[in-house]
Amino acid sequence: MITASVTDQPIVLQNLIDSVKTIQAGAVSIFSGDVRDNDGDKQVESLTYEIHPSAQKVIEEITARIAAKHEIINVAAVHRYGAIPMGESAFTVVVSAVHRGPAFAACDEIVTVVKAELPIWKYQVFADGTSEWVNSA
């Protein structure tokens, strides 16, 4: 099973884990990209992601393409958009496989490629009153 989506709702890690676990899988690899209160030497006050209308299709294509390259059983990849509170997940990938190697490899590749190819932009407001747009997740 391959599940991939963009959402404006909070990502519930346990739901994703439950969706990929199976008795055939000896490994579940998890990445949770959480919103932090700092970026470099600056204090982050707020963070918002904006997506292009094609984002859903793109994350589905990336996830399916990479899943096909690895010996995995199930995968779930979810990227959030909108205003996201500090400490909550902005991007989560969960992969199940018979062994840890393929689970780790697929998880890492999905994260790397989504961050490079998904049409999503991060807007950060800093405590010093400045702000910035970042052209990748």
pLDDT of 6: 98
pLDDT per residue over 14-45, tens digit each? 999 999 999 999 999 999 999 999 999 999 99
The pTM of the full predicted model, rounded to 2 decimals, is: 0.95
pLDDT per residue over 44-84, tens digit each? 999 999 999 999 999 999 999 999 999 999 999 999 999 99
Overall average pLDDT of the 10-16 stretch: 98
pLDDT of 67: 97
Where are the domains positioned within the chain?
Answer: 2-134
- Going along the chain, which residue ranges are E strands? 2-7, 27-34, 38-39, 42-51, 74-80, 82-83, 89-97, 120-126, 131-134
Query: Is pLDDT of 136 > 90?
Result: no
DSSP 8-state secondary structure symbol assigned to residue 49: E
pLDDT of 137: 46
Classify domain 2-134 at the CATH class level. Answer: alpha beta
DSSP 8-state secondary structure symbol assigned to residue 130: -
